[in-house]
């Protein structure tokens, strides 16, 4: 795991700021799994006169992950122990169960090593406010905010034949 964060704060009597950025990277315990995130945040608050203050905050982040489907560990437990994982004579180089094995055809190592299932998320969260002190102890405040998320998935499944029930024999790889 790598986790870094750098932060700057400062200001004056009428203006304060806090700016920071971070990076997180983790390789998964399963083959070809990972998560990384880069983030940036900025907060500003200013005072105009004695009674009015305003500020804003923005957080930007981008994360990339490659995670297996939820049945990878369960599939490893259910896999037939007498079947070899790899078989150089088959397209793709893996072996899974056939109909004669009467078993779940899922081959978790094939799923982890051959199939690329990457997701990228870009998130933006921003707020702004204005506050006016009407009398001592009584404030009027207006706050607005927006949050958005852009996601992109990339999926690639190459041609392979791991057995009668575990294959991708289309004319071309699937994207």
pLDDT, tens digit (0-9, with 9 covering 90-100), for 78-94: 777 777 888 888 888 88
pTM: 0.73
* Low-confidence residues of the chain: pLDDT under 70: 69-71, 99-106, 164-175
Distance CA 127, CA 145 (A): 4
Per-residue model confidence (pLDDT) at position 169: 59
Per-residue model confidence (pLDDT) at position 7: 97
Per-residue model confidence (pLDDT) at position 105: 62
CA angle 166, 169, 173 (to 5 degrees): 110
68: closest CA among 32, 93, 35?
A: 32
Per-residue model confidence (pLDDT) at position 46: 96
Per-residue model confidence (pLDDT) at position 101: 64
97: closest CA among 112, 82, 113?
A: 82
């Amino acid at each position: 795991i790598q986790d870094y964060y750098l932060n700057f704060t400062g200001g004056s009597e009428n203006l304060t700021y806090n700016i920071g950025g971070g990076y997180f990277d983790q390789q998964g315990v399963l083959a070809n799994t990972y998560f990384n995130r880069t983030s940036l945040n900025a907060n500003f608050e200013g005072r105009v006169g004695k009674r009015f203050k305003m500020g804003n905050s923005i957080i930007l982040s981008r994360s990339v992950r490659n995670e297996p489907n939820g049945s990878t560990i369960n599939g490893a437990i259910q896999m037939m122990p007498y079947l070899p994982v790899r078989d150089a004579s088959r397209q793709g180089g893996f072996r899974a169960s056939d109909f004669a094995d009467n078993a779940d055809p899922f081959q978790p190592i094939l799923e982890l090593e051959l199939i690329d299932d990457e997701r990228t998320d870009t998130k933006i969260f921003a707020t702004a406010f204005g506050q006016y002190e009407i009398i001592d102890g009584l404030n009027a405040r207006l706050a607005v905010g927006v949050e958005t998320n852009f996601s992109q998935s990339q999926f690639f499944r190459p041609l392979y034949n791991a057995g009668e029930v575990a294959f991708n024999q289309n004319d071309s790889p699937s994207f």
